[in-house]
């Protein structure tokens, strides 16, 4: 029985993603997930695994989107039990901006950025006069990363993240080198 004035957890889950996706990410069967949702709504959380309760609490702590749920699971896989339910401005050092390189590509991620549609990743080379921008990359709608795969392997490039609306760089240029495609 759902506590009065509170929305059922099953509705909250279905609003952001599928039951199958959540059960896979929480590593529980679908029948178990349904059982845990019933227990959660009844207030009997003592029989629910902590990782499941944390996710339910996260969903119920505010209006959440599919992106929020995906970021929750990304962050939870990095820091189990330490997920924070907040996002950051692009310029905030806690936004989690990083570069992952492999397979002849670079992926610039910004999982904690508040508005990824406002992000532009600039790729640069260093010259005698500073940095020269050689490309700009924007995330696909709903994505919190850009993939760069059209650069010369084994050369050093730099990336900086900025907002489209403000135009000012939000991060200092950071170096990366692509490996050869496998």
* For residues 10-36, average pLDDT: 90
CATH number of residue 111's parent domain: 2.60.40.10
Residue 2: predicted pLDDT? 52
Residue 70: predicted pLDDT? 80
- Residue 65, classed as helix, strand or coil, is coil
In a domain, 123, yes or no: yes
Which of the 8 DSSP states describes residue 22? H
> Which residue, 88, 54, 90, is CA-closest to 72?
54
> Which residue, 153, 159, 176, is CA-closest to 104?
153
100 and 65 in a single domain? The answer is no
Over its C-alpha atoms, the chain yields an Rg (Å, rounded) of 20
Burial (CB < 10 A; 0-12, 13-18, 19+), residue 44, is: exposed
Residues ≥6 apart with Cβ < 8 Å to 128: none
Tell me which residue range forms the domain holding 112: 93-177
How does pLDDT run across 106-154, given as a tens digit for each residue?
A: 888 877 776 778 889 999 999 888 889 999 999 988 788 899 988 888 8
pLDDT of 101 above 80: yes
How does pLDDT run across 148-182, given as a tens digit for each residue?
A: 988 888 889 998 888 777 665 567 888 888 877 65
CA distance 92 to 149: 27
DSSP-derived pairing of the beta strands 119-127 and 130-137: antiparallel
In a domain, 1, yes or no: no
116 and 55 in a single domain? The answer is no
Q: Which long-range contacts (CB under 8 A, 24 or more apart) does 151-157 make?
A: 151/106, 151/123, 151/178, 152/178, 153/104, 153/177, 153/178, 153/179, 153/180, 153/181, 154/178, 154/179, 154/180, 156/126, 157/106, 157/123, 157/124, 157/125
44 and 106 in a single domain? The answer is no
74 and 14 in a single domain? The answer is yes
């Amino acid at each position: 029985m759902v506590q009065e004035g509170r929305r059922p957890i099953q509705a909250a889950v279905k609003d952001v993603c599928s039951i199958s996706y959540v059960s896979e990410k929480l590593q529980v069967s679908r029948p178990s997930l349904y059982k845990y949702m019933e227990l959660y709504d009844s207030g009997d959380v003592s029989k629910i695994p902590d990782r499941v309760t944390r996710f339910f609490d996260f969903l119920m702590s505010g209006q959440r989107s599919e992106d929020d749920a995906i970021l929750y699971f990304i962050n939870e896989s990095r820091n189990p039990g330490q997920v924070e339910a907040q996002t950051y401005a692009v310029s905030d050092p806690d936004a989690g901006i990083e570069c992952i390189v492999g397979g002849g590509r670079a992926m610039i991620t910004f999982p904690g950025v508040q508005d990824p549609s406002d992000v532009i990743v600039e790729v640069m080379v260093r010259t005698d006069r500073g940095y020269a921008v050689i490309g700009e990359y924007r995330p696909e709608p709903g994505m919190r990363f850009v993939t760069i795969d059209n650069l010369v392997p084994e050369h050093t490039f730099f990336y900086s993240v900025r907002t489209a609306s403000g135009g000012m760089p939000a991060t200092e240029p950071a170096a990366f080198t692509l490996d050869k495609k496998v």
